Amino acid sequence: MLTHNQVWGAIDALAASTGMSASGLARRAGLDATTFNKSKRAADSGRPRWPSTESIAKILEATNTPLEQFLGLVNSVVPARKQTVPLIGLAQAGKGGFFDDGGFPAGTGWDEIDAPELASTHAYALEISGDSMSPVYREGDIIIVDPEQHARRGDRVVVKTTEGEVLAKELRRQTAKTLELKSLNAEHEDRVLAMENVAWVARILWASQ
């Protein structure tokens, strides 16, 4: 079975074998220079994004590379090892004892799941409950977050307040004093939190949708 890591690794290997960067390879093939950038390899939600068959066909033509040779590059990429990460329900996350002051898993009561290759060693998983985040995240979806990943404007994040409330929102703006959050569900209001009331913020890396 082809993996996300193997296909993108083969594109990087093809670029390197022709003395180009991934951006240079894209330009050679008449594609936008950012087509193969690492930032394009996952959606905003963290879900893996695959290159199109058209883009692969164009780089093979531009470099005069037979499909069999490209498949050889695919097979030469060692698949990323799966790892397990802690898992709890989003509703449980608001209770005390599950996290330390930095937003890292602590205590007992965690299950474990296999994590995709995008997850870091500091990541953990939350299972969505309720419909307050639909249609972006639905009940039963799994999201993987990392409290060490720096969150930027437009990123989807999980925020825990000092009162124990846990929110999954889009980061609109963060200042020294406030955290502005955009709701993922139009029926729920946006939020502005005082930073003194924010326990931690964790960036969403991936979702199981």
Q: What is the CATH number of the domain that holds 38?
A: 1.10.260
Q: Is the pLDDT of residue 178 over 90?
A: yes
Q: Are residues 19 and 60 in the same domain?
A: yes
How far is 109 from 10, CA to CA, in rounded Å?
40
Q: Are residues 100 and 201 in the same domain?
A: yes
How far is 144 from 122, CA to CA, in rounded Å?
10
pLDDT digits (tens, 9 = 90+) for 100-150: 888 888 877 899 888 776 556 788 999 998 888 888 888 899 999 988 888
| pLDDT for 107 | 78
pLDDT category at 83 given cuts 50, 70, 90 is confident
Q: Which residues of 20-58 are buried (b: 16+ CB within 10 A; e: fewer)?
A: bebbebbebbebeeebbeeeebbeebbebeebeeebbeb
First to last CA, the chain: 20
| pLDDT for 38 | 82
How far is 51 from 29, CA to CA, in rounded Å?
14
- The domain total for the chain is 2
pLDDT category at 81 given cuts 50, 70, 90 is low
pLDDT category at 34 given cuts 50, 70, 90 is very high
Q: Are residues 23 and 42 in the same domain?
A: yes
> Of the residues 27, 47, 76, which one is the last residue of a structural domain?
76
Q: Are residues 69 and 108 in the same domain?
A: no
Q: Are residues 71 and 150 in the same domain?
A: no
Can you tell me the mean pLDDT for 80-109? 81
Q: Are residues 30 and 119 in the same domain?
A: no
